[in-house]
Every structure is written in structure tokens, then in C-alpha cells.
Amino acid sequence: MVRRRRIWTRLGVLGLPAAIACGGREPVGADAFAGFCAEVRPRVTAYVERAAAEHSVPADPRYGGTVVVGTVADLPGGMNAAIVTSYTATQYQQFVSLMTLVRYDADLVPQPYLARSWEVNPDTTALTFHLRSDVYWHDGVRTDAHDVAFTYRTVTDPATGFPNPAYWDLYDRGPEGVEVVDDSTVTFHLRPHADFLDAWRATAILPEHLLGDVPPERLMQHPFNSECPVGNGPFVFVEHRPNERWVFEANPAFPAELGGRPFVDRLVHRVIPEQTTLLTELLTGGIQVYVGAQPDQAKQIQADPDVDLITFTHREVAYVAWNSRRPQLADRRVRTALTMGVDRRRIVQAVLGGYGQIANSTVTPTNWQYDPDAVPDTPYDPDGARALLKEAGWIDRDGDGVRENAAGQPLTITLKYNQGARQRQTIAELMQAQLADIGVDIRPRVVDATTLTAQLFTEAKDFDAVVLSWVMDFRLDDRDMFDSRRLSGDFALSGTRNPELDRMLDTLQTVVDRDAAKPLWDEYQRLLVEEQPYTFLYFVDRIAGVRKSVHDVRVDKRGEWVGVHDWWLDPSAR
């Protein structure tokens, strides 16, 4: 399953260093990797000096200056692509510090990047990449096929604990799955599946000469991650002060064919945990780019003549999962009525100030499968909802305003959300009010985030309903959520059983051709709407504020940092 967690919006706000970890089996002395940085740093400095001497800065007014980007969170897991798949850290790996084999264009069609080209055999079981030969790690060592094979072996080694093994679900995992043909050619073995290149767009390549000797279970503690990472991308790592900032500088030797040296001399990622402070810094010029602005801040950003507001549709979907193991939620008519009883348009207005759109399935507007006309909407219809509940046997028998079943049990549902998630709290409260109208007793309950995770994503499944949101991936795979053969799995929140849906989920993974897959995706979403395991609420727009002194900041569904190589700072603002 290929989707990243974005359950605890507020956790991001808290700046929680999420995806990393450590504390090996034995308490380890502070000096286990002590020499690493001291050894690596001088090599990087020497490489950058040499590269700067060999590649002079072109005579173009766009070169120079420092751009400061601000967000609420540090980059947990840093630049180690094998242990972190969180949104912002991945953006820095893909577009700033490291390189991926392929990258997407604006239409999400894979384009060459570290791989000059690739080919697939006719039955899609062998995928061969031909690498560029002019890409160097920032300590001067050339990036080659061995690095690619090493990265693959590492992320598919269970000991690493790579957070999203579903990327490689249909690849032959482990050492047998990869073959180094020569220094610049590498072949992977896989079973045919849809969007099989996506994993190579997502996962950046790591340096074997630096990490090859590290036991995979110790990778989470390695100084490479956030103390002295060595990349091969357009920017060279300079410094990281935890909870304060990351500093990168332009790589003078970045291949000319890929754009050469980036325009800005320095790129700084500042950690500012409070949104109000972030906005203030943006409006007073302390930062030039504010990533992840809140909907209620958009007006202020727009009102400032020196700042541009940038929004784009993100692949995040917010939803309420109904636990069908609970007797009152076992009937799909009840779940459908709950969706019909919720005015999602009002929720989008209240929670997102309109920066979002109504969702009916997991297929987000950023996915190629997205086609709202092909998916039936479940519009707001309180009367229809009442009729449906009545049909399912839920009638207000004692006149207290809450429906009961024949046994006299009231239709009471506890709706959980995590602490600190203001938007989810609003959602829960609005739903409580709206569903009270159709005789459903919703009881919002706030739970500490980690506790809630333990209640949801373990066998306990200790909840009736929960407000959540996922960041979906570009390659969709919903089997963990809706496949009834994975009911014991951690992510089968709803636990509905639908053999037709199961078959469809399998088929979807294996159809390589998009044209052939499209009608199947439409059919899948129709089945999902019928089953109503979730009430899908909305797709979120991401919002950013950019000072006009930074030119050519082009942002799209690939993320805020996609064009960072081409940003340039107005000479008057340097």
C-alpha cells in the first residue's frame, strides 16, 4: 500500500521528529559512529572547493543569494531515504540533496534524472536502468550502479524497517531482485504491475561507499541521516541544527544537462513551530517561502502586495472511518445514511475556507485515475438519510431524538480524533450537529495521538469512528485498507467484507496499461461508494506564501520543492 501517513496534522505542527529512531538492542555508547562526520566533512569541503574552481558561476544576474524556506517541522530522518518516507523530508531528498532514478514531469510521466534511460522487457519482468556517468557524491566519489543496487538491497531488507515496503510489493525483493550489469547499468526483476516506476521516483539513491558497512538495523542512528549527510543532488548539505535549521549550498558541479548549478547560492530550511510566527516572518521578510500555510492565513498572505499566495491540489484525503465490526455500523445502509447526513460542502468551507474539494474515494485529483464524473457523488440529503435509517430498522422509538434499533439500543457513535488537530475537532463537532438532525448521536472524543494510533492500528480496533487523513501516493494501492482478506491487518480500519471489491483490488495492481485500467478504476470507486466503509470528506489544497523577491517558484502536485533548482532571488533582495 502506497500512501504516507498524515494522520496527525498537529504532530507536524509540533515538529515531531517522526520517522527516525534508534536505541539499539543494547544501550550503545555515544561514540559508535563518532568518527564519521569528522572524516566526511573535510572531503565534502574539498570537493566543493574543487568543483567551484572548475565550474565558474555563469554571468547571469539570476545567480546568487540565499532563499529561506520556513515550515513547522524539522526533517525527521533527514536525508536517509531508507528510513523515512515523510512528505517534507522526501521532498528534500528528491529535489535538493539527493537524486532519484526518474522524476515526474507535471503530468506525472516519468522522465530521466539519475537514470539516462531505461527499458523494460516485453512481459514487464525485467527493468533495466542506464545511469548518468557525470553524477558525483558530494565527497567526490562517482555515483554508479552499485549505489543503486545497494539502495535497493537496503530498502528491501526487513532489518532496515523501510517504512513503506509496499513500494516493492511486486518487485523481487532482496539481493536476488537486482543485478549490476556494469558500472552504469542495473537490472531489476519484478512482476508486471501498474506504475512500477513510481518507487524509483519516490526513493532516492544512497551512497554505498559511506553506508555499505552499516548494519541495516543501525541505520536509524547513523550520523549520515541528519548530522553530515552526503548527497549527489543540486544542493550540498552544509549544516543542520536540530529544531532550528538546515542549510544547503549550490553544487557547482551539478550536471549541465540537468540544469547545472542552481541559481541560489544557499537554501535554508527554517523550523518555526508556530504558524503565527511563520506568517509574521513571511510578511516581514525573515523567510521568503512559507510552506504549509493554514487556510485562515490565506487572506493575510493575499493582502500583502509583496507576497504571492500559491495553492495546489494535494494528494491528501480526509475521511471518517466507520468500524463495521460495531453492530450499529455493520449495515452499509447506515453508513450510507451517515454520509448523506453530512453536509460536506459546509465542512470544506468551515475547515478549509474553501481550499479543498469534496472527496468520494481514495483517488485524489492528483492521480491520473481521477474522474469525478465517473464516480457517483453522495450528496447531502437529510431526508434520504432518514428514510434509509428507517429502512435499516433504526427508528426513534422513545421520542428522545435518537434512533433505536428493535432491541432498543440507541444509534450512538463515538467519533475519535487526535489531540491538537483543530481541523478534525471542527469536523467532529459539525458532524455531531448535522447528524443529530437525522437522529444519530455522535459523541466526539479527543485522544492523545500515540494512544489513538495504538487503538486504531493494532488488533484492538478500539473505536467506533475516527476522523483521519492520509497523504495518498501517486501509485495507488488500497489493499491494506479495503481488502477483506487483510482484515486482521493494522490498516483495515473499517473491516468491511466485499469479495467483489477484493477481486477488483487485485486486478488493479496488475494492469500496466493506463487506458485499460481506467474503466476498472471507475468501477472500483463505484463499488467503494456502494460499500461506504468511510465517509470521504475532502481533498486538501496545500497553501504556500512566497515573497515576490523570489522568482520562478513554480509549484504543482509534485510538491513545493519540485522546481527549487530554478528559483532565483531578485538581485535587489540579496
Residue type, 87: Y
270 binds other proteins per the rule CB under 8 A: yes
Site for other proteins in 75-134 (CB under 8 A): 76-78, 85
359 binds other proteins per the rule CB under 8 A: no
Q: Would you say 362 or 378 has its CB closer to other proteins?
A: 362
Q: Would you say 145 or 194 has its CB closer to other proteins?
A: 194
Residue type, 187: T
Task: Pick from 40, 48, 68, 546 the residue near other proteins by CB under 8 A.
Answer: 68
Residue type, 563: G
Task: Pick from 244, 400, 437, 500 the residue near other proteins by CB under 8 A.
Answer: 244
Q: Among 321, 274, 237, 370, which residue's Cα sits nearest to residue 491?
A: 321
**Cβ-based neighbour number of residue 59 at 10 Å:** 6
272 binds other proteins per the rule CB under 8 A: yes
CB of 192 to other proteins, least distance (A): 20
CB of 32 to other proteins, least distance (A): 8
Length reported for the chain: 574
Q: Among 212, 45, 52, which residue's Cα sits nearest to residue 138?
A: 45
User: How far apart, in whole angstroms, are the C-alpha atoms of residue 299 and residue 353?
Assistant: 10
Q: Would you say 181 or 454 has its CB closer to other proteins?
A: 454
User: How far apart, in whole angstroms, are the C-alpha atoms of residue 251 and residue 19?
Assistant: 27
CB of 362 to other proteins, least distance (A): 11
Site for other proteins in 414-453 (CB under 8 A): 448-451, 453
193 binds other proteins per the rule CB under 8 A: no
CA 12 from chain centre, in angstroms, equals: 12
71 binds other proteins per the rule CB under 8 A: no
Coil, strand or helix: which one is 276?
helix
Q: Among 411, 345, 350, 351, which residue's Cα sits nearest to residue 378?
A: 345
Task: Pick from 99, 148, 190, 283 the residue near other proteins by CB under 8 A.
Answer: 283
CA 505 from chain centre, in angstroms, equals: 21
User: How far apart, in whole angstroms, are the C-alpha atoms of residue 514 and residue 410?
Assistant: 47
Radius of gyration of the chain (CA): 25
386 binds other proteins per the rule CB under 8 A: no
Quote the strand ranges of 348-485, DSSP E: 356-358, 412-418, 441-447, 465-472
Stretch that binds other proteins, among 2-10, 91-99, 405-413, 514-522 (CB under 8 A): 2-10
45 binds other proteins per the rule CB under 8 A: no
Angle between helices 332-340 and 514-531 (to 10 degrees): 90
166 binds other proteins per the rule CB under 8 A: yes
Task: Pick from 113, 167, 319, 534 the residue near other proteins by CB under 8 A.
Answer: 167
64 binds other proteins per the rule CB under 8 A: no
280 binds other proteins per the rule CB under 8 A: yes
Spatial contact of 192 and 512, defined as CB atoms under 8 Å apart: yes
Q: Among 300, 292, 422, which residue's Cα sits nearest to residue 350?
A: 422
Total interface residues for other proteins by CB under 8 A:
81
243 binds other proteins per the rule CB under 8 A: yes
Determine which helix (DSSP H) or strand (DSSP E) holds 519, and give its type and residue range. Answer: helix 514-531
474 binds other proteins per the rule CB under 8 A: no
Task: Pick from 100, 114, 131, 163 the residue near other proteins by CB under 8 A.
Answer: 163
CB of 401 to other proteins, least distance (A): 34
214 binds other proteins per the rule CB under 8 A: no
φ and ψ at residue 197, rounded to 5 degrees: -80, -10
Task: Pick from 126, 396, 457, 520 the residue near other proteins by CB under 8 A.
Answer: 457
Q: Would you say 247 or 351 has its CB closer to other proteins?
A: 247
Task: Pick from 481, 501, 504, 508 the residue near other proteins by CB under 8 A.
Answer: 481
Task: Pick from 11, 51, 194, 543 the residue near other proteins by CB under 8 A.
Answer: 11
